[in-house]
């Protein structure tokens, strides 16, 4: 089955029935463990290389303003060593934008960032921040960096992402993963299905991520528009038990097999 990524042939490949969604692995939590001791182990740079050797299609790191996990040294080394694609997750602030423009990752994913949060909580409010985002997005595009916006499954936000010049939307799956009741889960899932369709209609690349694990990813694999998953915590948590190679391979295998199941057979 084909797993290629190339912006020029993306739309053609999207129409191929056999195309598998890609997996990008977020290695932030390897750095979280390192920072807990303030020493140099474990190294997210090594983890990124191992994830790539296991078959990951891309590596994601979030350089937070408070540098709570990933450090400037990490992103510099990762830029030199990643052989797949580097996706730098970041807040749209002048300091981090400057770093990203110097670093030139393959893609940036703009996310909202609050200092007190444990992890990114909600999608970016593109609708109300268009004036702030537009110049940053333009400068990324001029530098040849693709731009993804992490947004909730909301039609207004998707139209705004399109208008502001994003190449990609990453649909926030965290609310689905946190849902307590089946009714709530089903309702959020339906919104994500609609959002993915709208994204495709607007010729945006559609990714999904946040809170996904080896169980709750299964329903999403029936959504054909989702071409890439961004997964961090569950893979790194599993890797602590079984090793990173196996943890990444198991997720790739899951995406490969469950992806061919019709939606009707998948229990949301
Ligand atoms: N996508 C985005 C935009 C994120 O902020 C995060 C968390 O860093 C992820 C994906 C990965 O989420 P998780 O660690 O829950 O898999």
Q: Please give the residue range of the domain that contains residue 131.
A: 24-265
C-alpha of residue 31 to centroid of ligand 1, in Å = 14
Domain annotation covers residue 63: yes
Total residues belonging to the chain: 268
**129-157: burial string, b at 16+ Cβ within 10 Å, e else:** eeeebeebbeebeeeebbbbbbbbbbeeb
Q: Are 259 and 20 within 8 A, CB to CB?
A: yes
Position 19 scores a pLDDT of: 79
Domain annotation covers residue 16: no
The Cα–Cα gap between 255 and 228 comes to: 10
The Cα–Cα gap between 55 and 69 comes to: 24
199 lines ligand 1 (CB under 6 A): no
228 lines ligand 1 (CB under 6 A): no
Ligand 1 pocket test, pick from 110, 157, 230, 255 with the greatest ligand atom count within 8 Å of Cβ, gives 230
DSSP-assigned letter for residue 9: G
**Helix locations, 86-181, DSSP H:** 94-103, 130-142, 155-163, 174-178
| Angle (deg, nearest 10), helices 244-258 and 44-53 | 40
Position 9 scores a pLDDT of: 47
C-alpha of residue 201 to centroid of ligand 1, in Å = 25
152 lines ligand 1 (CB under 6 A): no
Give me the tens of pLDDT residue by residue for the chain, a chain 268 residues long: 444 444 444 444 444 445 799 999 999 999 999 999 999 999 999 999 999 999 999 999 999 999 999 999 999 999 999 999 999 999 999 999 999 999 999 999 999 987 666 666 689 999 999 999 999 999 999 999 999 999 999 999 999 999 999 999 999 999 999 999 999 999 999 999 999 999 999 999 999 999 999 999 999 999 999 999 999 999 999 999 999 999 999 999 999 986 555 554 455 5
Domain annotation covers residue 8: no
Domain annotation covers residue 12: no
Residue nearest to atom 4 of ligand 1 (CA): 210
The Cα–Cα gap between 10 and 185 comes to: 30
Domain annotation covers residue 214: yes
Position 14 scores a pLDDT of: 44
pTM surpassing 0.75?
Answer: yes
148 lines ligand 1 (CB under 6 A): no
DSSP-assigned letter for residue 22: E
Position 17 scores a pLDDT of: 46
Position 268 scores a pLDDT of: 56
C-alpha of residue 165 to centroid of ligand 1, in Å = 22
Domain annotation covers residue 5: no
- Name the domain count of the chain: 1
262: its two tokens: 């019709």
110: its two tokens: 């703009």
Residue nearest to atom 2 of ligand 1 (CA): 210
Q: Tell me, what CATH number does 45's domain have?
A: 3.20.20.70
């Amino acid at each position: 089955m084909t797993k290629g990524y190339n912006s020029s042939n993306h739309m053609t490949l999207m129409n191929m029935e056999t195309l598998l969604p890609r997996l990008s692995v977020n290695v932030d939590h390897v750095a979280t463990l390192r920072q807990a001791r303030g020493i140099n182990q474990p190294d997210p740079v090594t983890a990124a290389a191992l994830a790539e050797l296991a078959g990951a299609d891309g590596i994601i790191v979030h350089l937070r303003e408070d540098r709570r996990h990933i450090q400037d040294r990490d992103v510099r080394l990762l830029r030199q060593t990643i052989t797949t694609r580097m996706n730098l997750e970041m807040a749209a602030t002048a300091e981090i934008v400057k770093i990203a423009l110097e670093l030139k990752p393959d893609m940036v994913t703009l996310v909202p960032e609050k200092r007190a949060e444990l992890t990114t909580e909600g999608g970016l409010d593109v609708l109300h921040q268009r004036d702030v985002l537009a110049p940053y997005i333009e400068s990324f595009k001029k530098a040849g960096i693709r731009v993804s916006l992490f947004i909730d499954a909301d039609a207004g936000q998707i139209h705004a992402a399109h208008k502001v010049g994003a190449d990609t939307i990453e649909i926030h799956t965290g609310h689905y993963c946190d849902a307590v009741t089946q009714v709530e889960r089903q309702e959020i899932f339906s919104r994500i299905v609609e959002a993915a369709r709208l994204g495709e209609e607007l010729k945006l690349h559609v990714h999904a991520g946040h809170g996904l694990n080896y169980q709750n990813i299964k329903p999403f694999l029936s959504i054909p528009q989702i071409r890439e998953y961004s997964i961090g915590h569950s893979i790194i948590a599993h890797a602590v038990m079984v090793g990173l190679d196996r943890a990444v391979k198991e997720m790739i295998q899951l995406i490969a097999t469950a992806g061919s199941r019709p939606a009707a057979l998948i229990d949301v």
